[in-house]
């Protein structure tokens, strides 16, 4: 029988710097597939940016309706969507990384 779920536990200081940075914006208790760490971290940054902008604008009474924030948990809890998202996100992240590194080398 093949394992269905593998969970790895590592000390945060032993992880690479990029992974450490992304883990620091995540809640203290969070289960996320490693390929989706950048995606989940990006969502946390988006949410924080939106809420901080509203707070500094002086209109922070209740977060305004935002389709990204309101639908994230529904998307994240759906394994069929997440499976496709892992594949798409890997492709997007790899392409963006290649473009960014190419720009750095050309400069």
Q: DSSP letters along 29-82, please?
A: S----GGGHHHHHHHHHHHHHHHHHHHHTT--SSPPP-HHHHHHHHHHT-HHHH
> What is the pLDDT, as a whole number, of residue 106?
46
Q: What is the mean pLDDT of residues 61-75?
A: 75
What's the full length of the chain, in residues? 107
Q: Is the pTM of this model over 0.85?
A: no
- 58 three-class SS: coil
Instruction: Tell me how far apart the 2 most distant CA atoms of the chain are, in Å.
Output: 57
> What is the pLDDT, as a whole number, of residue 103?
47
Q: How far is CA 93 from the centre of its chain?
A: 11
Q: Domain extents for the chain?
A: 12-106
């Amino acid at each position: 029988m093949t394992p269905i779920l593998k969970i790895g536990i590592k000390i945060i200081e032993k992880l690479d710097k990029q992974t450490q940075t992304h883990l620091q914006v995540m809640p203290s208790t969070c289960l996320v597939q490693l390929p989706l760490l950048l995606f989940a971290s990006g969502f946390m940054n988006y949410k924080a940016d939106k809420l901080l902008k509203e707070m500094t604008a002086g209109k922070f009474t209740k977060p305004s309706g935002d389709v990204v924030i309101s639908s994230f948990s529904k998307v994240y809890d759906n394994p069929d969507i997440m499976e496709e998202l892992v594949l798409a996100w890997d492709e997007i992240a790899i392409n963006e990384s290649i473009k960014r590194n190419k720009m750095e080398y050309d400069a």
